[in-house]
Chains A and B, each alone.
Chain A
Amino acid sequence: MTSLLTARAAPSGRRGPSQPRRSRRYDRAEVLTALAFLLPALVVLGVFVVYPIASAAHISLTSWNGFDPVKELVGLDNYAQLAQDPAFWNSLLVTVIYGIGVCVLSVVSGLAIALLLDAPLRGRGFYRGVYFLPTVTSSVAAAIVWRYLFDPAGYVNTWLEQLGVSGPDWFGDRWLALGLLTSLTVWKSLGFNAILYLTALQALPTGVFEAAQLDGAGMWQRIRRITVPLLRPMTFFVVVQGLITSFQAFDLVYVLTGGGPRGGTEVLGMFMYREAFRLGNFGYGTAIAFVTLFLVLGVTLVQWRASGSGRSTLR
């Protein structure tokens, strides 16, 4: 025990060449400590996250309704049924359009705010705080406020009327409703995206900008030719985050539109909730959940590849 202690205590740089940096054998006491430290978290995550993932893979192959003691295996029937379910294709289409909208607007708004806040400015902390407010507000509260702001008798339409425009029925038209949902989602992550971009901006080398300025490049040129390309890895991250959030969206949709009108905003999360918890089709609902998993994995794989190559071009 004493020898182990002294070996540990030796500063890493001064270890003799005969002493391997990492011995293959583990210190028993250390392994036991690690086990004790890990156990509580691993039990919780194992029981309530890892086991459910495995269990979900099984449930998605059954016709289980959530109550029967027996889960009857139906093979890939649920997936085959999905492929023929117009509600699923509608939901997938809605989710993809929503996801793309969220990504494009998130990148544009996040980058714009970050660029405006990058150089020293009076009240920078104030703006940062304000833009962050929606992010810390609950989805339920935010969606309720938007729901009534855009109500046919709400503030927005009253205001439009004063301008002489008759306001539309925001929740009666599927595209308007989807547009509102997209805007609300972007609004909620405005501050988050801005801070991500700000962090990335502040890590950029200043030399390039000074050189470009000396060469007579104007502000727009510098932004377009230097800032935006250099920020590409962060943009990729924001896009992937946006897509993943969209694939997992539920709270905002549930409160703002409930998936309506006529399925116009029924994203995959909403569709799953309806099938599993309203109609009791747990097997079918789990199959829908797995589709979101495949989508997320696909997007992550693309990010992984691209960020790998993105980093190498930056160097």
Chain B
Amino acid sequence: MEVQKFQYDNRIVRDFAFASVIFAVVGMLVGVIIASQLFSPAINANLQYITYGRIRPLHTNAIIFAFVGNAIFMGVYYSLQRLCKARMFSDVLSRIHFWGWQLIIVSAAVSLPLGITTSKEYAELEWPIDIGITLIWVVFAINFFGTVIKRRERHMYVAIWFYIATIVTVAVLHIVNSLEVPVSFLKSYSMYAGVQDALVQWWYGHNAVAFFLTTPYLGLMYYYLPKAANRPVYSYRLSIVHFWSLIFIYIWAGPHHLLYTALPDWAQSLGTAFSIMLIAPSWGGMINGLLTLRGAWDKVREEPVLKFMVVGVTAYGMATFEGPMLSLKNVNALAHYTDWIVSHVHIGALGWNGFMTFGILYWLIPKLYKTDLYSKKLASFHFWIGTLGIVFYASSMYVAGIVQSLMWKEFNPMGVLQYPNFLETTLQIIPLHMIRAVGGSLYLTGALVMVYNLVKTVKQGSFVANEVAEAPALIKDDNHVSETKHRWLEKKPLQFALLATVAVLIGGMVEMIPTFLVKSNIPTIASVKPYTPLELQGRDLYIREGCNNCHSQMVRPFRSETERYGEYSKAGEYVYDHPFLWGSRRTGPDLHRVGGKFPNLWHYLHMDNPRTMSPGSIMPSYPWLLTQDLDTSSTAAKIQAMQTLGVPYPKGYELIANDILRQQADSISLDLQRNKVPAEPNKEIIALIAYLQRLGMDIKTAGK
């Protein structure tokens, strides 16, 4: 058999590793800043670019796509080459992938603070960046499959399957959720509206967690955990079941939760039984990881790499148990819109993604630099301070979530809300938010210690950019007699990818067809009319400032909510909402019925400084809205884009839109001037007030 010599590309692995470390620090730092803004809103120093609403998406995007994203590519590029016994398909594509991804991150870091956002969570980036992401993802896919095809190893290890599922599914999710109509170079409207937009967005959100934060990391776990422990994975059988059930569960079982009520009884019972059964494979993955360490637990005591991985895998188990629990109706009624959800995602992000990444970095960087880790002691310190950070973070947020939710729901014996003022519930949990910020700071401190440790390690080692290896060439036509189907399949990466895609697509369709049908099934409400041009502009300011990061626009049909906010929300009210703005966390009160509740003057003063109207409020001040001129040059284009999307503005409306806008602005400004406030009609605040006063008014007028 001919033995071939070749070289592994370590440079690309190192570059992604450094990028991941840098963005970890940046993303966590922004996290600590926004956490602090929630009890001390003055931190932004009245600078519009760093208000909570604008940089909360910066935090989530930096962690998900910059820190975790770069870590995925680092882990994949190292393990793929070794598992395939081949260099990456193309060095040029590797470079393009690296620099393209960093360019996307930089453009996100610039555009989000500027308020350029689509408002859809974890998909906030505007359309030109979306296209960039698509192109870079294709480059990654070509480079990946090219390597798999030219491999020198007959079989594909299970980690590669997880990578393949990631590549194909993320592509599908990103494209479907990013369909939008451009208005200008940096502004677009979602193709979907209201309920449908929400369904698509959370189909994306749910599966992005699965296929960006989970499947690639499971692949990494199946490679790096055995590596670090120096023993094979506990059960390869279990890993196969784990893989196939996981890619089915997330995409297929997802719709069950939504559609359960529509099922006949027998199917509901079957489905429920099955859902419980399905916790088994994902826990199977955790157990598989932990049992890999059987007989090696003494190593865990000494080896920080393994410590990180053990806690990481355990956090995966906790989060995947909690997820299905949160989907239960009665648990969800309590947890939705609260800090409980924030805690849940941080168990995943800090525990699973964070600790797995740290473990891999501590193992990988010394390998790349042919040296030992500079200090195991510092790494152990990082482990303990990080764990402590997670404990502080999670426990305070669980308590905050439950406390606030119970306060929202509490009635006194007279049958009225015990805490009718929303602010009371906010102030109650402020100490817990402070503890959360402490937890986050501890975690960040640990990461900084890691940076020091890794820099020292790099300095004492010498980097091997091209690592020499050898392996026998793969002989194409040898006669294997007893070939099972699956072995045939996993020898053919493209067929495998195709099958995984089919699984994902059928599952996706089962969920998406009802989503598309829902549009024609939403009862229209005759009094619901498209937004006026001024309101539309105001709505875009609402999006620019990221108000939806703290305020929901969805009153649920609970007595505690209708009592507090008014009539519960109807699907028909959102038919012209491109995009939907339901929000996911009620840091402030729901706004869907805020229209007409307060006079224009209240809004004007409240936006200038919320504390003048609500002492103790943690909302940032928005003084710039009072001084900045509203850009009306975009009105016509916006109306036209809405017409393209089927919003029934009369023909030629875009030509008179600005006249109508000015009329409405004049009347609001006149009302304010009557109240001795020098509000000019061309300021941004006027448009925002117009939008806020419109919210929920359509069905109120219908009742009259």
User: A and B bound?
Assistant: no
B residues in contact (CB < 8 Å) with A: none
A residues with CB within 8 A of B? none
